[in-house]
Structure 1
Amino acid sequence: MSVVIPVSADWLTLREDADAGSRSRALAVKAGRMLRPPVVVHDLGTGTGSMVRWSAPLLPGPQTWVLHDWNDALLQHAAAAAAHDRDGRAVAVRTRAGELGLLQGADLAGASLVTASALLDVLSADEVGAVVAACIAAGAPALFALSVTGRVTLDPIDPGDGVFEAAFNDHQRRLVEDRHLLGPDAATVVADLFRAAGWSVRVADSPWRLEPGDAALITEWLDGWLAAAVAQRPALREWAAEYARMRMAQLAADRLRVVVHHVDLLAWPS
């Protein structure tokens, strides 16, 4: 079983501020109270390292981060960015290239905490099962941020909103080769797996709340949202083009607001 998740460094950089403003600080602080120094954090699907930069200042130190990703170029980008713990000490960073679908408990040996951001919803049931099993085997609390729920709220509302949302969600749950992606069901599946193992789980809402000042992110998000909907239902192509023109006009007039709903999840041994 293997998983390779294509991702753009430009997209990760564009969304970093929105991610940082949306993740649950309360869950991160709660996770921090469970840790005893020295702290070793394994970050899964680290991308450009935004989870390190956001959460390291909320956790005790000294800290060592082990960054996991299949993309070595992204790993090097993430490793080069500075991060500090809550006492201002620089964190140490190691990188580990590999496919998350092959993750085992031994890969997380010695972990104080396991983290991930915007990862679970692009994995299959088998892959999230492997991630959860590895966390349980390591006995380390897990903080998984920004899993999409499938809900999107746009203001002003439009009859197309629900149509494109449903098509997008079907696309997120699609079959890719032999991988049936979980999409918006991922956080619920992961919570159930941890609870079935006797772990405690806490979930918090972590929505993006995008205003006209977030025009670049709204534009990129809307383009991707509609492209996925059309890929799933090609008959929507002409409607999607008309819908995009309408939404871009509203954005240019400072009239468009978008809420993209996510949840964060913290699980720990009971």
Structure 2
Amino acid sequence: MTGIVDVSSDWLALREGEDARARSQELALAAAKLLPPGPVVVHDLGSGTGSMMRWLAPLLPGPQRWVLHDWNVRLTERALDDAPPVDRAGLPVAVETRSGALAQLTASDLDGASLVTASALLDVLTARELHAIVDACVDVGSPALFALSVTGDAELSPYDPRDAIVGRAFNAHQRRLADGRSLLGRYGAPIARGLFALAGWRVRETTTQWHLDDREPGLLAEWFDGWVDAAVEQTPELRDESAAYRRLRAAQLARGELSAVIRHRDLLAWPR
């Protein structure tokens, strides 16, 4: 998957708990009902260190085999460091890893798939990569569960008029040209929905949310800094104003006054 926007294992570890709370369990249980009888094979795209597997495996029947796909081999190696998660019956799942380019993904890469999953992936894809994923899912006939796609909707409290300015710049940054790749940003989930619908598949969607506050100040601080950093990278003229904005928000965070709701989309698609 060379070229996908890089993330650190530290950031993935920091967000894993909130990701688990935010993902739609309703869609996950609906996906479980779509699985054929017998052993379950799950292909997780852009798997990182395996957080989707750790969250979803206990909600699915077994026996399970997970195939973790990611261009960053260092991340998938981390997924193998700990004991594997267990399935709904409490039995450990089998795990293997693969690396490769999403733009070249085909049904043969999803061999034996009972379910295809991804988390926080669609917004960092290109149109070509997303088309390849949808085509591969359709060709193999496997339901697909995509969680935590960015919508571009973030609400901070207390309100500050600079929130909207930074938010617009961040959303533009999500659509940037990164190493020659034109990212889909907040349009990733709607485009995926449209592609599956064009293929004649059924689609269910729901809004999911991060709720960040003083319960996890480290995650809130890291998210906020990354949010503003991206906005300033996209719109450098915000740099001077963002300094005062950062100081204000840091003081509010230190007093336990700052909170944020960051909205995502979860999507389940399956053949009719």
What is the TM-score when the length of structure 2 is the normalising length? 0.97
Contact 1:3–1:100, Cα closer than 8 Å, also in 2:
no
Moved over 6 A (4+): none
| Structure 2 unaligned regions, length at least 5 | none
CA distance in 1, matches of 2:54, 2:211: 21
| Structure 1 unaligned regions, length at least 5 | none
After TM superposition, the structure 1 = structure 2 runs for residues 81-160 of structure 1, keeping only pairs within 5 Å, are: 81=82, 82-160=84-162
Q: 1:183 to 1:166 in 2, by over 3 A?
A: same
Contact 1:205–1:262, Cα closer than 8 Å, also in 2:
yes
Query: Which amino acid in the other structure matches residue 197 of structure 1?
Result: A
Contact 1:3–1:101, Cα closer than 8 Å, also in 2:
no
Q: 1:200 aligns with which of 178, 199, 202?
A: 202
Moved more, 112-121 or 80-89: 80-89
| Cα displacement (A) at 1:240 | 1.1
CA distance in 1, matches of 2:267, 2:191: 11
After TM superposition, the structure 1 = structure 2 runs for residues 45-84 of structure 1, keeping only pairs within 5 Å, are: 45-81=46-82, 82-84=84-86
CA distance in 2, matches of 1:113, 1:153: 33
CA distance in 2, matches of 1:171, 1:102: 25
| Cα displacement (A) at 1:223 | 0.7
- 1:215 alignment counterpart: 217
| Cα displacement (A) at 1:76 | 1.2
- 2:167 alignment counterpart: 165
Contact 2:4–2:124, Cα closer than 8 Å, also in 1:
no
CA distance in 1, matches of 2:113, 2:78: 22
Q: Structure 1, residues 123-170: CA drift from partner, whole Å, max 9, x if none? A: 111111111111111100000000010000001110001000000000
- 1:26 alignment counterpart: 26
Contact 1:42–1:68, Cα closer than 8 Å, also in 2:
yes
| Cα displacement (A) at 1:87 | 0.7
Aligned residue pairs, count: 270
Q: Structure 1, residues 98-139: CA drift from partner, whole Å, max 9, x if none? A: 122221111012100000000110011111111111111110
What is the TM-score when the length of structure 1 is the normalising length? 0.98
Identity of aligned residues (%): 56
Aligned-pair RMSD on alpha carbons? 1.1
Q: 1:5 to 1:183 in 2, by over 3 A?
A: same
CA distance in 1, matches of 2:243, 2:27: 39
| Cα displacement (A) at 1:80 | 2.8
Query: Which amino acid in the other structure matches residue 75 of structure 1?
Result: T
Query: Which amino acid in the other structure matches residue 120 of structure 2?
Result: A
Contact 2:156–2:261, Cα closer than 8 Å, also in 1:
yes
CA distance in 1, matches of 2:173, 2:253: 25
- 2:7 alignment counterpart: 7
Query: Which amino acid in the other structure matches residue 60 of structure 1?
Result: P
Contact 2:123–2:183, Cα closer than 8 Å, also in 1:
yes
| 1:42 equivalenced with 2:47 (yes/no) | no
- 1:260 alignment counterpart: 262
CA distance in 2, matches of 1:5, 1:175: 11
CA distance in 1, matches of 2:260, 2:102: 31
After TM superposition, the structure 1 = structure 2 runs for residues 222-237 of structure 1, keeping only pairs within 5 Å, are: 222-237=224-239
Contact 2:4–2:125, Cα closer than 8 Å, also in 1:
no
CA distance in 1, matches of 2:160, 2:16: 28
| Cα displacement (A) at 1:2 | 5.4
CA distance in 2, matches of 1:236, 1:32: 46
Q: Structure 1, residues 48-74: CA drift from partner, whole Å, max 9, x if none? A: 100000000000110000010111111
CA distance in 2, matches of 1:215, 1:67: 30
CA distance in 2, matches of 1:37, 1:256: 48
Contact 2:41–2:112, Cα closer than 8 Å, also in 1:
yes
